Structure 1
Amino acid sequence: MQVRSEKGWGIDWAGIGWLFLFFWYFSCVPQLLIQITGTSGFTGFRQAFVMSALWLVPVLLFPAKTRLIAGSIGLLLWAASLVSLGYFFIYGQEFSQSVIFIMFESNAAESREYLIQYFAWWMLPAFALHTLVAYLLWRRVRPIEMTRQPAFAAAALMLLSSVGYPLISQGLREKTMGSALLKVEARMEPAVPWQLVLGYRQYREQLNNMQGMLTDAAKIPPLKHLKSTLGDQPATLVLVIGESTNRQRMSLYGYPRNTTPNLDKLRQDMLVFDDVVTPRPYTIEALQQVLTFADEQNPDLYLKTPSIVSVMKQAGFKTYWITNQQTMTKRNTMLTTFSEQADEQVYLNNNRNQNARQYDGDVLAPFAKVLQEDAPKKFIVVHLLGTHMSYQYRYPPEFEKFTDRTGAPSSLRDDQLPTYNAYDNAVLYNDFVVSSLIKEYAQKDDNGFLLYLSDHGEDVFDSPTGNVLGRNEAKPTAPMYTIPFMVWASPKWREGHEWSFIADTKRPYSSSQLIHTWADLAGLSFDEYDPSKSIVSAEFKERPRIIGNPYGAKKSLIDFSLIKPKPPKTEIETAQK
């Protein structure tokens, strides 16, 4: 970039640097705090850096008014950065469209309560310091004199690098401009004020989608001839949905590492089902079947039949949904639709990225609070973030127990070991959360039961090849589908209900039929209930467990038995041999 001087034309790097630093500062501070606290990865920091260059364009086009333009834009960025910074101070999370959803769903009294509860005196001087640094940076901004052609060329370069090139490259990859625009928006979100602008636009879009789904759900006919063996008897029934947890990595299911010490101790008080799989390895697609009457043969039934929340409401239960999953994202709109069918909701995770630090221990306090509510019949769904990638963000430092090769497969490479260990540490923390929910429930001494299962599994170098990480429906492996499935019942419930299902725990089962097992356990009957699909029913019928994409080609649906797991040898087993 060139500036006019007595000695001719040159590049005023210092002037450009101060100007860019001023614009970047407002996005830099929240992103820097996110990096320091390890809340999320480096991607947001990098994207905020690139997108901040966009604000150089108007200054380059009108260089004579540099300070006025920079000051005007700076005021906008400053106000937006205070929102992001304040939200991070309070929640330790990055601002997102999920936050906007919570804000608009809360009334004035709730907002005031949150403010009083979380506001701390040190925030005021922190905001003042943030503002002072911004002002001092603005003081260093000075006019840049340029001729028209170099200014236009520089402005074009900034537009191309921050928006043009990403849009073109994404357009070539995505094949459609709409998809490319969404990708570019995702790149812009970490920078202010786009967190607010794009967050609100996405909130409105997803809200409209959700409202449409809720309207359609309201039109679904009620269950036919619904009956309950409970009568007027009080009861609290709890469904805990895990995330990305492969039962093969739980000591409860024979894994050599002690990853579930708390559940191991509770085993004698639980029904632990040994052979349950999920129909699909993705959260939304799996839960469309798990929480409804849909299955692999009838995948669209989730649009035409009641969800488990609706079933329990029709049975006279007050319903609650406590979730540590992201709330208002394009992928999670279906989950939010399920949650909004409940009478009350508690949304805990407002991170912009799924791969951000978020601990499931946050669900314990609202769960305890709901248990104390004065409602004779309660149905509570607790949706965990479980062991979702990135695994190191799923557990606090005190749960970092597995750090070496002890108990790990002998075939594990050195570069795979940190990820493998992080997953086991995440399973260890998941054990703490799930067992804490059971213990909290046990202290209340309610009449009822708690059922825990994971939405799907995860392959973390567990399959025979030893090179698979994550989930890929096109290339299925057993760890992607093998899930934990267990039920704990209170003494009061066991006294009044049949609970000798020990022989049933070995039955091969698909979680796509959960709603039938749930109805059986809860003492509900209706025309849509099929006892042959209940794992605890005397009329249970073993079926092929179909997995895959039901909307894909015929060959995409296969029997799970074709990919049955073969546990890898561990370091201990190899040494013994």
Structure 2
Amino acid sequence: MRLLIISIYFLLISAMPALLGGDISLLSKLVIIVTGMLLMFICAGVYKSLAGKIFTVLISALWALNLSVSFFFYQKHDIRFSSSIAETFINTNSSETVGMLSYNKYYILFYIIVFAVYFISIHKSAKYLNRKTTWASLGLFFGYLVVIPAHSAALLPKPGSYLLLAEQYLSHTPFYNASALVRNLYENREITKIPNTVVQYQYDKKEASSDIYVLIIGESVRRDHLSLYGYQYETTPNLDQRKPQMLVFDQAYSPAPVTILSVPISLSNISFSQMQDKQHYADNIVALANHAGFETYWISNQGKTNRKTSIISTIASMAKHRKWNEFVGYDEEILGYFNNAINDGVKKKKLIVLHTYGSHEPSCNRFPEEKYQEFSTQEDDNCYDSSIAYTDALIENILQQLSGKSATVMYFSDHALQRLDDKYDVYYHHGVNNPTKEAYEIPLFVWYSPNSAKPSLDNTVLNAPYSTANNYWLISDWLGIQQHSPKACLSPLNSCYQAQKEITMIDGNRTLLSLKNLPSEQKTHD
């Protein structure tokens, strides 16, 4: 009878991961429950030994982590943890991790409670289980380990089959979120080939009027929060004054709502259908500028990540001069590196990429405390708007450093953020799943110094919808590199340009979406 009660109790606990497993088959949920129960019986059976206690602590920690991750992503984003999200976490710096945890402290409490429930359950049940039950549980669990390879035999001949089998194992256990990490490792095996892929370029170089080209990649900036675009509060006073010197694109959209996807697409000659073949990222604006004889620089406040797991770091590492801020701090900390780059005495034309941290959530951490401004009565809105005002001052500093030089600056944000307003609880977050169109609405503008010739673009071009998925071609023309490709007409600076009739993008799970079908924040709040 006691064994029956323990079995029912273990069944209830083991059902929790299955309930948060998302849209998976009933059979998969049953397997997750069964493997969970077997692990609980094994933990309780070996718990009396020191090694058993250590094993139980480890399983408890992983169990709680899996449940907490699932709970967080369903609660915050209504999405299952995926390989795309795993890629973001793998390449997240420690500063961003601490910031995100501080913003979601209740999920840490959830983790502690789940860990305690699991561990105490094993501790209380251990004294009632006999050796026969433990050996039976071990036998059944090892049977599971044999069944998976037999069921997935078709995976064995494939390259990286050990990763695919590990994914299959983990996806049918209470640690199924770890399968997304394994899938990400499998998908990223090709990243190391990017620097060694030879791209055959065909282009003409025109005599451009600028010597210094500065590309600023913003972070998490919504277009509708810049007074440059008509926002009710004066968040960009410096840019507002410089508008006559700029080409301002009124309807720019990012290709994805997360940095790890949007930045590589925006800098490379790649389509959404080619994303699985990482070698396509070899044709990017840094490699192109190198080939065209530019001196290239990459200066980042995003934190350096592993070139084997990050396409952004791989592209950045192609620059001839590279500098990552040692500790991710305020964006102004990279200004010294920028000053060195524009005054290093190199006589070649320069492409300097500045990768900023912009308005990434939590936005109140993106600027010094004394830069906080009260635009309204909502603190989160004030934090977000203050981060944009801080970016405006940063860009103004950059433009002042370029004073008297033949220079041009292009700025675009990697993506925007969604604004959640739930009973006066305002929160800005990434639109990973079921995003609204506001998650893609970003600023894009090009500034020209008095010593550089500003192109003349018709307002119909500047006012038309444009996707920064085509930025490779825009940046190419901006640099004075006229490519011999029909796709060159995707650049608004090209005489053959025609605005796209339909703008497409992907969500955080790489699902293809259409702009015209995206919901608006206003409608979702009604």
Would the TM-score normalized by the shorter structure come out above 0.5? yes
SS where residue 242 of structure 2 aligns? Answer: helix
Judged with a 3 Å threshold, the aligned counterparts in structure 2 of structure 1 residues 536 and 301 are, in CA distance, closer, same or farther, namely farther
Which residue of structure 1 aligns with residue 496 of structure 2? 539
Where do residues 74-223 of structure 1 align in structure 2 (5 Å cutoff)?
159=54, 163-170=58-65, 213-223=191-201
User: What is the distance in 1 between the residues matched to 2:308 and 2:231?
Assistant: 32
The answer to whether residue 317 in structure 2 is matched with residue 340 in structure 1 is yes
1:322 CA drift (Å): 0.2
User: What is the distance in 1 between the residues matched to 2:422 and 2:512?
Assistant: 20
SS where residue 530 of structure 1 aligns? Answer: helix
With normalisation by structure 1, the TM-score equals: 0.57
Cα contact 1:271–1:502 (8 A) shared by 2: no
User: What is the distance in 2 between the residues matched to 1:156 and 1:434?
Assistant: 57
CA offsets 1:215-250 (integer angstroms, 9 cap, x no match): 4332232312x220128x872111110000001111
The answer to whether residue 420 in structure 2 is matched with residue 525 in structure 1 is no
Which residue of structure 2 aligns with residue 419 of structure 1? 380
Cα contact 2:190–2:279 (8 A) shared by 1: no
RMSD: 3.8
1:472 CA drift (Å): 2.7
CA offsets 1:71-126 (integer angstroms, 9 cap, x no match): xxxxxxxxxxxxxxxxxxxxxxxxxxxxxxxxxxxxxxxxxxxxxxxxxxxxxxxx
1:541 CA drift (Å): 1.9
Which residue of structure 1 aligns with residue 438 of structure 2? 479
Which residue of structure 1 aligns with residue 412 of structure 2? 453
Judged with a 3 Å threshold, the aligned counterparts in structure 2 of structure 1 residues 462 and 479 are, in CA distance, closer, same or farther, namely farther
SS where residue 412 of structure 2 aligns? Answer: strand
User: What is the distance in 1 between the residues matched to 2:338 and 2:425?
Assistant: 38
Where do residues 339-378 of structure 1 align in structure 2 (5 Å cutoff)?
339-350=316-327, 358-375=329-346, 376-378=348-350
For structure 1, which segment, 313-322 or 331-340, has the greater mean C-alpha deviation from structure 2 after superposition?
Answer: 331-340
Match of 2:451 among 492, 499, 512: 492
SS where residue 252 of structure 1 aligns? Answer: helix
Cα contact 2:212–2:406 (8 A) shared by 1: yes
Which residue of structure 1 aligns with residue 129 of structure 2? none
Match of 2:225 among 243, 249, 254: 249
User: What is the distance in 2 between the residues matched to 1:373 and 1:210?
Assistant: 36
User: Which aligned runs of 4 or more in structure 1 are off by greater than 6 angstroms?
Assistant: 152-158, 172-176, 209-212, 462-468
Which residue of structure 2 aligns with residue 230 of structure 1? 207
Cα contact 2:218–2:413 (8 A) shared by 1: yes
Cα contact 1:446–1:490 (8 A) shared by 2: yes
User: What is the distance in 2 between the residues matched to 1:301 and 1:490?
Assistant: 39
1:161 CA drift (Å): 8.5
Match of 2:263 among 268, 287, 291: 287
User: What is the distance in 1 between the residues matched to 2:423 and 2:505?
Assistant: 19
Cα contact 1:391–1:423 (8 A) shared by 2: yes
SS where residue 484 of structure 1 aligns? Answer: strand
Cα contact 2:488–2:494 (8 A) shared by 1: yes
Judged with a 3 Å threshold, the aligned counterparts in structure 2 of structure 1 residues 342 and 164 are, in CA distance, closer, same or farther, namely same
Which residue of structure 1 aligns with residue 394 of structure 2? 433
5+ residue gaps, structure 1:
1-151, 191-205, 352-357, 406-416, 569-577
Which residue of structure 2 aligns with residue 310 of structure 1? 287
**Percent of matched pairs sharing the same residue:** 23
User: What is the distance in 2 between the residues matched to 1:210 and 1:346?
Assistant: 24
User: What is the distance in 2 between the residues matched to 1:268 and 1:447?
Assistant: 17
What letter corresponds to residue 243 of structure 2 in structure 1?
Answer: R
1:260 CA drift (Å): 1.0
User: What is the distance in 1 between the residues matched to 2:201 and 2:507?
Assistant: 28
With normalisation by structure 2, the TM-score equals: 0.62
What letter corresponds to residue 430 of structure 1 in structure 2?
Answer: T
SS where residue 486 of structure 1 aligns? Answer: strand
1:427 CA drift (Å): 1.1
Cα contact 1:292–1:301 (8 A) shared by 2: no
SS where residue 325 of structure 1 aligns? Answer: coil
5+ residue gaps, structure 2:
1-46, 71-80, 99-183
Match of 1:563 among 514, 518, 521: 518
User: What is the distance in 2 between the residues matched to 1:418 and 1:346?
Assistant: 34
Cα contact 1:323–1:382 (8 A) shared by 2: yes
The answer to whether residue 302 in structure 2 is matched with residue 325 in structure 1 is yes
